[in-house]
Chains A and B, each alone.
Chain A
Amino acid sequence: MNAPDRRAGANAGAEPAGRPHAGSGRYIGQRVRRKEDARLLTGRGQFVDDIALPGMLHVAFVRSPIARGRILGIDLDVARDVPGVHAIYTQQDLAHFNVDMLSFYLVSPEVETTPLANGRVAYVGEPVALVIADSRPIAEDAASLVVVDYAEEDPVVTIDDARSGPPVHPGCDDNIAAEMGEQEIDEDLQALLEGAPHLIRHRVVHQRISQSPMETRGVVVSREGAEELTLYITCQSPHLVARWVSLALGLPPGAIRVIAKDVGGGFGLKNHPWKEETAVILAALMFNRPLKWIEDRYENLIAANQAREQEMVLQVALDDDGRLLASHGDYSVNNGAFPQLSECNIAVHMFVWAAYRMPRYGFLTRGWYSNTIGYAAYRGPWAMESLIRETALDVAARRIGIDPIELRRRNLVTLQDQPTTSCMDLPLEDITPAECLEKLLAAFDVAAFRREQAAARKEGRYLGLGIATYIEPTGAAGAITTMTGELAQVRIEPTGKVTATMSTHSQGHGTATTMAQIFADRLGVPYEDVTVFEGDSSRGGFSPGAAGSRQGVIAGGAAIMAADLLAAKFRQLAAHLLDTSVDAIVIDEGMVRVDGAPDKCRPFADIACIAYGEPDRLPPGFEAGLEAQYRYQPPPMTFSSAANACVVEVDADTGFVRILRWISSEDCGNVINPAVVEGQIAGGLAQAIGMVLLEEVRFDARGNPLAATYKDYHLPAIADIPEFEFVHAGTASQSVGGMRGCGEGGAIIGAPTLVNAIADALAPFGEVPVDLPLTPTKLLSLIEGRDLSAKTVDDQHHFIADHPVTVPVSAAAESAPQAPQPAAAPTAEALVDGDWKMVLSTPMGPQEMTGHFETRGQALAGYLSSPEGQMDFTGSVDGANLKFDLKVDKPMKITLKYTLAVTGDKIAGKCKMGIFGSAKVTGQRA
């Protein structure tokens, strides 16, 4: 079934990324206009909040204001009396349903998980009660009048908290949600790491991310009769939702119909229902009226499952030529209280070195429960593997003094190396990251950039180039219960038009377009004559829809196979009616001709009409009608590859990063629609830029979310995203059609590409700690401890070795280079003594002061003077580094601990102000 002739558009991917006209009669590989656009552009889409059913009532939730505690009592009396309120339910009312809150893999949860809080709350925003009212405003009014009495407990918020804090879930011994790997590094591996000429210990801290689809979650539930249930819901696969609800609630599957025509983005959040959607479904079953719940943005940001909060330390051993010798990874991910899957993200380790020749790898991987919102998928859930590997390789390149491109060339698995297996025993047959890298370098002149960079440095401008490569598993099928093949059903209607029913689902993916391109191409009909129906679990067969970059690969293969079956049937009938052989039949834009007989010609629609309405004219044994279906089971995994480059300028005065250029060189095999593929990649890259520079879900120490609006959670806007350039490789995969998935890649490779560019730009200041997001504040904390005027760059790659630098205290990173002392260091007296004009940046605003320093050996004495008065201090000095404490009484008794470093005429560092945290200190000689 993998015959080459089944591969669509053999040279489709090789074409330049121009804009060929779509009307050439072949549609695969063309930038065909999207079928979805006409309704979406005119306000005629059908999103869940657009559904209104007769008798429908509205739901609002009472949510926990604390991160952890026991519920002592719930008083509903006042709320129930609000006019327009119909019912208020708590978990006690829903308990008899015994819902099994299954994971995406349809596995029962590791810890008790209920739709509404069951006696305890475990995160701020956890739904405690559900109010049904005539309208949403009335439901919200009543929700605000529900009185819940809590016995608050100290929450476990961060991964660090989880390691040492009390178990989030009563009855558990600790907060480990999932764990794999070795507790201790294997002795042989340890010896390889320690004995290597170069050992990089690289740490990455990744902030928590809100998937933030522009359409929030929502559901409309209608119970119809004793068993039937119709759901309109934001999701990524109506079929998966139907299967999940059937199993979770123990309902007969045939009774459930899930409809989701238009969904405003998913990105992993909408894989299957969670607490709120489930509670609304149960409430509708109890109350027997259609119910609607539409999440508002505040709810979405504080109570919809989130992703990515993780940290990892990767040790990488290399020889003097930069060849990889061994590696170890220690990974942790915050699962929150009720994750959609108790996750330790084994995929991070499966793929971290899969594209590289890495002889030996060991790992420890853990997921941690905490009193925060539960973990869910986000585009490329295992993306840490690329982020930490690609940034570690650049650190290694700087440390060893090798060009980062050359370092990759020496270690990447090439096509010549395959078939082979990775260090984690992953079979590799046709990955092309090395080839993507060469194509990228053909499109970007690195040498010219390095000259430009060196010239810019002389002007005090910091340009950086980041390059990253990766592979991505796409179109997986067969290993996980829910990750299946795809069914395509297609008919040539009696009108001659083509109708297909698919289980694909678009939350922007444009699958009704790409599938129609395939059907039009393979059946020889105009694209305009093809309609693809999707978004309804009562049509088509099971598939998980949009998950794991699978639809182009698997549904595309299914569409080709079903279309070819139908085309064969049509040609058989046409040959019979035109009294010729099947091979002589030519189908051309609505007409059927006989090769070599110009007079034998019939409209396509005539033959279709006969197939249904004139059984006497059909060939003997011919099944009436023109219908076919095929369930395509692809190879277990299809890999996509890519190499990206990005150029940034970091403003050393503000710490702001400006992206100047970005090239994506990717190999997603045969491309059905380049505009759709580029749209997927661009969207993922934009999300990666948000991850690196802008977005962050933060909590305070009590577990209160600090980003509850889009004024606090910063999504990238148009000015934050550059215009991306695309290079397509087009190496046909082994799946039918030769496609490779492209849904998640941009979100995976974008982050390391951008981090590497920033790190390259700021290399003169030391290593950038990879603690996302890289806000201007974080970058400035690295930049401002430096005397930039003394730095020149002749050879970027030897810069660190030639120009040893001291990392300021506030920016010390695990991966920071060693900082040898300069051979003839000037004395502390010459560096430090005298008067300095300094600014302390406190949360209350900047405070100006004058500092006077006098050194004697390693002793420091002096005073700080400001309009409020003068305070004397004593402390210590080590070279150019000062330490001293000041005890103050106002606004309260605290000790201010100063840590400063002098470089030339500048001074910088920080002041620890007790419970007020740290404040930055900057200044210059008076």
Chain B
Amino acid sequence: MSKHTIELTINGLRHTADVEARVSLSDFLREDAGYTGVHVGCDHGVCGACTVIVDGKAVRSCLMLAVQAHGADITTVEGLAEPGGALHPVQETMAQEYGLQCGFCTPGIVMTMAALTGEGKRPTEEQLIDAMSGHLCRCTGYQGIRRAVRKLVAADTGETVDGGAA
């Protein structure tokens, strides 16, 4: 297998690597770059667990080749919280709303939420729920994820909402 040299930024750090053309971005991030928070749930683009942010957009890293990420700026779930440890608002909201159980699908969900909220973005609840339809969770029945979506949308629009359970 021929190798290709790629340069890219992951969580603010520059990386240079020689990768085989067939290596997926998800495998590269996990095995070469060491970001094991990128979880591979299906490897065929349905479950969404491997979602990372590539140049500002939520991307399924199992459907992208590492060589396609040459020159890209990538954020994985490890790069979301403040360096000091403070959780990103999406992470904080997911914890408050019991949006996870086993936590395997969670990194992907968090990355999609992070890509679509914050920094002046104003998604509607419907848009964010629609985006969540690309993420499979086998544990929670999506109850806490739905509450987190509602809370994040309210935060983005400056409204307050009681995010409590039924």
Interfacial residues, chain A to chain B (CB-CB below 8 A): 17-19, 31, 33-34, 36-45, 47, 49-50, 137, 212-216, 262-265, 267, 296-298, 506-510, 674-676, 678-679, 682-687, 709-711, 715-719, 721, 723-726, 746
Bound complex: CA A510 to CA B106 (Å) = 15
CB-CB under 8 A from A718, the residues of chain B are 129, 132-133, 135, 142, 145-146
Task: Decide if the interface of chain B is mainly helix, strand, loop or mixed.
Answer: loop
Bound complex: CA A44 to CA B102 (Å) = 13
- Known contacts A214-B41, A215-B41, A710-B46; is-contact A40 B138 (Cβ 8 Å): no
The 3 A-B pairs with the shortest beta carbon distances in the complex, nearest first, are A43-B37, A264-B104, A40-B103
Cross-chain contact of B136 among A33, A39, A214, A506 (Cβ < 8 A): A214
CB-CB under 8 A from A216, the residues of chain B are 41
Q: Looking across the interface, which residue of chain B has its beta carbon closest to that of A708?
A: B44
Q: Looking across the interface, which residue of chain B has its beta carbon closest to that of A137?
A: B22
CB-CB under 8 A from A716, the residues of chain B are 141
CB-CB under 8 A from A678, the residues of chain B are 98, 143, 165
Give, as a whole number of angstroms, the nearest-CB distance from B38 to chain A. Answer: 7
Bound complex: CA A34 to CA B102 (Å) = 11
Cross-chain contact A710 with B136 (CB below 8 angstroms): yes
Cross-chain contact B136 with A717 (CB below 8 angstroms): yes
CB-CB under 8 A from A17, the residues of chain B are 165-166
Cross-chain contact of B78 among A42, A684, A721 (Cβ < 8 A): A42
CB-CB under 8 A from B60, the residues of chain A are none
Cross-chain contact B105 with A214 (CB below 8 angstroms): yes
CB-CB under 8 A from A40, the residues of chain B are 100, 102-103, 106
Within 8 A of A (CB), among B20-45: 20, 22-23, 30, 35-44
Cross-chain contact B95 with A38 (CB below 8 angstroms): yes
Contacts A43-B37, A674-B165, A683-B141 supplied; 4 other A-B pairs, CB < 8 Å? A40-B106, A49-B36, A262-B102, A685-B141
Q: Is B67 an interface residue (CB 8 A)?
A: no
CB-CB under 8 A from B51, the residues of chain A are none
Bound complex: CA A11 to CA B94 (Å) = 28
Cross-chain contact A683 with B91 (CB below 8 angstroms): no
Cross-chain contact A42 with B37 (CB below 8 angstroms): yes
Of listed A265, A298, A510, A687, residue having the most chain B CB within 10 A: A265
Give, as a whole number of angstroms, the nearest-CB distance from B85 to chain A. Answer: 9
A to B CB contacts below 8 Å, 13 in the list: A39-B103, A40-B103, A40-B106, A41-B95, A214-B138, A215-B41, A215-B102, A215-B104, A262-B104, A506-B102, A675-B165, A679-B140, A718-B146
Cross-chain contact B96 with A33 (CB below 8 angstroms): yes
Bound complex: CA A47 to CA B41 (Å) = 12
Bound complex: CA A679 to CA B100 (Å) = 9
Within 8 A of A (CB), among B58-117: 76-78, 80-81, 87, 91, 94-96, 98, 100-107, 110
Give, as a whole number of angstroms, the nearest-CB distance from B28 to chain A. Answer: 12
Cross-chain contact B102 with A721 (CB below 8 angstroms): no
CB-CB under 8 A from B105, the residues of chain A are 214, 264
Bound complex: CA A18 to CA B140 (Å) = 18
Give, as a whole number of angstroms, the nearest-CB distance from A722 to chain B. Answer: 9
CB-CB under 8 A from B133, the residues of chain A are 717-719
Cross-chain contact B91 with A41 (CB below 8 angstroms): yes
Cross-chain contact B87 with A42 (CB below 8 angstroms): yes
Bound complex: CA A506 to CA B102 (Å) = 7
Cross-chain contact B81 with A42 (CB below 8 angstroms): yes
CB-CB under 8 A from B143, the residues of chain A are 678-679, 682, 721, 723-724
Cross-chain contact B44 with A711 (CB below 8 angstroms): yes
Cross-chain contact of A43 among B36, B47, B94, B129 (Cβ < 8 A): B36
Cross-chain contact B22 with A45 (CB below 8 angstroms): no
- Known contacts A42-B80, A724-B166; is-contact A686 B101 (Cβ 8 Å): no
Cross-chain contact A214 with B137 (CB below 8 angstroms): yes
Of listed B135, B144, B166, residue having the most chain A CB within 10 A: B166
Q: Looking across the interface, which residue of chain B has its beta carbon closest to that of A682?
A: B141
CB-CB under 8 A from B120, the residues of chain A are none
CB-CB under 8 A from B80, the residues of chain A are 42
Bound complex: CA A510 to CA B42 (Å) = 24
Q: Looking across the interface, which residue of chain A has its beta carbon closest to that of B37?
A: A43
Q: Looking across the interface, which residue of chain A has its beta carbon closest to that of B128?
A: A718
CB-CB under 8 A from A38, the residues of chain B are 87, 95
- Known contacts A683-B139, A709-B44, A710-B47; is-contact A45 B95 (Cβ 8 Å): no
CB-CB under 8 A from A506, the residues of chain B are 102
Annotate B141-166 by CB proximity to A: 1 below 8 A, 0 otherwise: 11111100000000000000000111
Cross-chain contact A41 with B132 (CB below 8 angstroms): no
Cross-chain contact B44 with A710 (CB below 8 angstroms): yes
CB-CB under 8 A from B134, the residues of chain A are 717
Bound complex: CA A212 to CA B105 (Å) = 12
Cross-chain contact B142 with A721 (CB below 8 angstroms): yes
- Known contacts A33-B95, A42-B77; is-contact A214 B44 (Cβ 8 Å): no
Of listed B38, B87, B136, residue having the most chain A CB within 10 A: B136
Cross-chain contact A508 with B102 (CB below 8 angstroms): yes
- Known contacts A718-B129, A724-B143; is-contact A213 B136 (Cβ 8 Å): no
Bound complex: CA A216 to CA B107 (Å) = 16
Cross-chain contact A711 with B46 (CB below 8 angstroms): yes
CB-CB under 8 A from A43, the residues of chain B are 35-38, 76-78, 107
Give, as a whole number of angstroms, the nearest-CB distance from B151 to chain A. Answer: 12
Give, as a whole number of angstroms, the nearest-CB distance from B161 to chain A. Answer: 13
Q: Is B49 an interface residue (CB 8 A)?
A: yes
Q: Looking across the interface, which residue of chain A has its beta carbon closest to that of B23?
A: A137
Bound complex: CA A679 to CA B143 (Å) = 8
Bound complex: CA A43 to CA B145 (Å) = 17
Cross-chain contact A44 with B46 (CB below 8 angstroms): no
Cross-chain contact of A267 among B104, B136, B138 (Cβ < 8 A): B138
Bound complex: CA A554 to CA B2 (Å) = 56
Cross-chain contact A507 with B107 (CB below 8 angstroms): no
Cross-chain contact A679 with B101 (CB below 8 angstroms): yes
Cross-chain contact of A265 among B81, B96, B102 (Cβ < 8 A): B102
Q: Looking across the interface, which residue of chain B has its beta carbon closest to that of A136?
A: B27
- Known contacts A33-B96, A214-B102, A265-B104; is-contact A715 B145 (Cβ 8 Å): no
